């Protein structure tokens, strides 16, 4: 499946789940790997049975279009001089993150006309690249945001640090998903964020997730597994939660399903096993038996 651009004058096929944000290159040692929440959210949605698409901006050197072609995920690209590049450097267990390159900002006019009717939309900023004009642009959709990219700033050397934002802007989406690492230093803002959105989900790694809805807070433990590699588990959790909530309109059901889907990733199986939906259903029954989650 070829990737398209606005300049090409062609429209992509309709999709059921639209991810908006930069696909990026992550420098990992001496190699470059695919990065970006939009990348993994779309791949996870596809594995979970939905036709997913990506609105992104990358440069001509982007290496991973073939990944999306093999997964039958259409990519609509806003061409940029270069692809977004992140590098994580670890010293004494502490991570320092650098943004070496950044592709173009995505605006409402970049959305293909045929994708404006997509029923579920996930905003996936990683480098403050998703303009807030996009948030109200899908009035008939269930909209969600994984907001870590709006909480990043960087200096002239590209060193990334946390920043706050205008939390009221999040009122334009239905669901906000973030990790406790994303909100570190801004914990006092949690009640304000929860008041502005229909559902706020804060993940806490292997511990579980807190769900805020209509003034109530619930905690849902993670599904217990032996952790091999948790890379991508957060993205899978968010996408699984959004998809299941769109289907059931029940946050407890969505959180249980999301924990179970993410557990396969944590075990080191990766997203490739997410299309084994029968295994997910079996593990979901185990989760419900252990923790009494609904449905």
Q: If pLDDT is split at 50, 70 and 90, which confidence band does 8 have?
A: low
Average pLDDT, the chain: 90
Query: Which residues in 126-242 belong to E strands, given as ranges?
Result: 142-146, 152-154, 160-162, 175-179, 199-203, 208-213, 216-221
Q: If pLDDT is split at 50, 70 and 90, which confidence band does 277 have?
A: low
Q: Is the pLDDT of residue 288 over 90?
A: no
Q: Is the pLDDT of residue 269 over 90?
A: no
Average pLDDT over residues 21-32: 92
Prediction pTM value: 0.92
pLDDT tens profile 230-259:
667 889 999 999 999 999 999 999 999 999
With a CB cutoff of 8 Å and minimum separation 6, the contacts of 157 are: 98
Q: Which of 20-34, 88-102, 136-150, 214-228 has the highest mean pLDDT?
A: 136-150
Boundaries of every domain in the chain: 4-289
Question: Is there a contact between 243 and 261 (Cβ–Cβ < 8 Å)?
Answer: no
CA pair distance 39, 282, nearest whole angstrom: 27
pLDDT tens profile 128-175:
999 999 999 999 999 999 999 999 999 999 999 999 999 999 999 999
Average pLDDT over residues 65-69: 94
With a CB cutoff of 8 Å and minimum separation 6, the contacts of 278 are: none
pLDDT tens profile 74-98:
999 999 999 999 998 877 777 799 9
Tokens for 13, please give them: 């096929």
With a CB cutoff of 8 Å and minimum separation 6, the contacts of 249 are: none
CA pair distance 124, 21, nearest whole angstrom: 5
Give the CATH H-level superfamily of domain 4-289: Ribokinase (3.40.1190.20)
């Amino acid at each position: 499946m070829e990737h398209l651009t606005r300049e090409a004058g062609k429209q992509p096929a309709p999709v059921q789940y639209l991810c908006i944000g930069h696909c990026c290159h992550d420098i990992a040692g001496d190699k470059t790997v695919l990065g970006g929440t939009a990348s993994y959210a779309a791949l996870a949605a596809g594995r979970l049975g939905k036709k997913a698409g990506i609105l992104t901006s990358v440069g001509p050197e982007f290496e991973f279009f073939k990944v999306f072609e093999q997964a039958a995920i259409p990519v609509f690209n806003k061409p940029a001089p270069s692809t977004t590049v992140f590098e994580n450097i670890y010293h004494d267990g502490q991570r320092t993150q650098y943004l070496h390159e950044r592709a173009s900002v995505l605006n409402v006019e970049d959305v293909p006309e045929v994708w404006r009717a997509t029923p579920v939309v996930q905003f996936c900023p990683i480098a403050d690249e998703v303009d807030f004009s996009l948030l109200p642009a899908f009035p008939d959709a269930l909209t969600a945001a994984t907001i870590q990219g709006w909480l990043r700033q960087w200096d002239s050397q590209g060193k990334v640090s946390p920043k706050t934002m205008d939390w009221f802007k999040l009122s334009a989406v239905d669901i906000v998903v973030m990790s406790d690492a994303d909100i570190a230093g801004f914990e006092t803002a949690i009640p304000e964020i929860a008041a502005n959105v229909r559902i706020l989900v804060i993940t806490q790694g292997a511990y579980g997730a807190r769900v805020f809805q209509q003034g109530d807070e619930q905690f849902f433990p993670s599904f217990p597994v032996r952790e091999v590699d948790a890379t991508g588990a957060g993205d899978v959790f968010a996408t699984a939660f959004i998809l299941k909530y769109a289907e059931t309109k029940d946050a407890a059901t969505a959180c249980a399903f999301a924990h179970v889907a993410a557990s396969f990733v944590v075990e080191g199986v990766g997203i490739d096993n997410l299309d084994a939906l029968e295994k997910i259903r079996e593990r979901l029954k185990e989760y419900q038996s252990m923790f009494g989650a609904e449905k």
